[in-house]
Amino acid sequence: MTLENLKKNLNNCTKCDLFRTRNNIVFSDGSRNAKIMLIGEAPGADEDKIGIPFVGRAGKLLNEFLVQAGLNRKEHLYIANTVKCRPPENRKPLPAEKIACAGNLKAQIDIVKPKVIVLCGTTAMESFIKEKKLTITKARGRVFEYENGIKLVPIFHPSYLLRQHSTEPNSPRELMLKDLKMIKKMAQL
C-alpha cells in the first residue's frame, strides 16, 4: 500500500457517516520522509474546504509555534488527523468514526515510519494512550512508547492556545514551545 493508493481509496470511503457531509477528504500535509508525525483531532470547516489539515486559525497558530521552535512544516513534519472527514458543527469525532478511520491513520504511520508521533490535543492522545484519568495538562511533554521504538509525545492543541494569551513561564504557550523544542531534539533535527 502506498500513501497515494490509500488517499485514492478514501475518495469512495463510506465507512462512517461523515462521508455524507464532507466536501473533501483531509489526508495529510508535509513530508512523507518526516521524522515527526503530528496527529490532530479532525478537519474543521477550512480544512474541509481545501482538503489540507491545519489551515484555519488553529493551523496558523500551530505554524507560528513550529517556526519559533525551528521546525519547517513542509520538510520536518507529516501532518494528519484521527479522522479524515469533518465532523459536522466541529463536534469531536465519535468513537465509531475514530474506529472506522483508525486503519487509515495506522497505515500512514506504517508508511511514514516517524521517530516521534506528536499527539496534538486530547482526542489524538486518547486514541493512542489508554491510561485512565490522563489529562492533556498532565500528559503534555511526557514521552510514551508506541511500537518499533517510535515515541509518542502529547502536546496542547493550538485551538486551546488561541484562548490562552500569556507567554509567562509555565503558561500553556510557553510549555507548547518547550515541548516542540524537545520534540525537535528527539527527532535529531
The least CB distance from residue 83 to ligand URA, in Å, is 9
Compute the residue count for the chain: 189
Q: How far apart are CA 144 and CA 47, in angstroms?
A: 29
The least CB distance from residue 168 to ligand URA, in Å, is 25
For residue 5, what are the contacts with CB-CB under 8 A and spacing of at least 6? none
Is position 93 an interface residue for ligand URA (rule: CB under 6 A)? Answer: no
Strand order in the sheet with 77-81: 29-30, 77-81, 36-40, 116-120, 151-155, 144-145
Is position 87 an interface residue for ligand URA (rule: CB under 6 A)? Answer: no
Is position 127 an interface residue for ligand URA (rule: CB under 6 A)? Answer: no
The least CB distance from residue 79 to ligand URA, in Å, is 8
Three-state SS at 37:
strand
Three-state SS at 31:
coil
Is position 97 an interface residue for ligand URA (rule: CB under 6 A)? Answer: no
Is position 28 an interface residue for ligand URA (rule: CB under 6 A)? Answer: no
How many angstroms from the chain centroid is the CA of residue 173?
A: 18
Q: Which three cell numbers stand for residue 128?
A: 493512542
Is position 81 an interface residue for ligand URA (rule: CB under 6 A)? Answer: yes
**With respect to ligand URA, which residue has the nearer C-beta, 30 or 44?**
44
The least CB distance from residue 90 to ligand URA, in Å, is 9
Give the binding-site size for ligand URA (rule: CB under 6 A).
Answer: 12
Binding mask 35-64 for ligand URA (x = CB under 6 A): -----xxxxx--x-----xx-x-xx-----
**With respect to ligand URA, which residue has the nearer C-beta, 42 or 180?**
42
Contact 28, 43 (CB under 8 A): no
Is position 172 an interface residue for ligand URA (rule: CB under 6 A)? Answer: no
Is position 27 an interface residue for ligand URA (rule: CB under 6 A)? Answer: no
Contact 170, 177 (CB under 8 A): no
Whole-number CA gyration radius for the chain = 15
Q: How far apart are CA 136 and CA 119, in angstroms?
A: 10
Give the binding site for ligand URA (CB under 6 A): 40-44, 47, 53-54, 56, 58-59, 81
